[in-house]
Amino acid sequence: MWKDFLAGEDDVIMTSIVKKVLRSSTRRQKRSVCKTPSNGSTAEEHGVLPPPQAPPSPDLTGLTPEEIAVLKEVMRRQEEFEYGELSRQK
C-alpha cells in the first residue's frame, strides 16, 4: 500500500524521516522505563496495576522544516485515501 502512496524521491525522504523519529522516540522510552522496587517485587504481584498510558508522541524536533512538510503531505494524502475508501464502501 505504501508503495502506491509514495513515489520515488518521496520514498527515500520518508524512510529517513521515519528512522529519525523512531530513533528519538526509542531513546526517550529507554529513559522512562520503570524500575522494580528495591525489595524485588513488582506492582503486578501485589495486584496493583499502573493506569494504561498512551505511547509517547514522536519527537519531531530533530526534523527539518522540509521533512515536516513531507510528513504533513503524506498524512494529508493518507486521509484523502481513507476518505475515498469510506466513500466507496457506502
- Give the tens place of pLDDT for each residue, 21-30: 777 766 655 5
According to DSSP, residue 42 is labeled -
Task: Output 42 or 35, whichever has higher pLDDT.
Answer: 42
Task: Output 2 or 45, whichever has higher pLDDT.
Answer: 45
For the cut 50, the answer to whether the pLDDT of residue 6 exceeds it is no
Torsion angle defined by CA atoms of residues 23, 29, 32 and 35, in that order, rounded to the nearest 10 degrees: -120
pTM of the predicted model over 0.75: no
Return the percentage of the chain with pLDDT > 70, whole number. Answer: 64
Mean pLDDT, range 31-60, rounded to an integer: 69
What is the full DSSP assignment across 50-71?
PPP-PPPPP--TTS-HHHHHHH
**Burial class of residue 62 in the structure, from the number of CB atoms within 10 Å of its CB (0-12 exposed, 13-18 middle, 19+ buried):** exposed
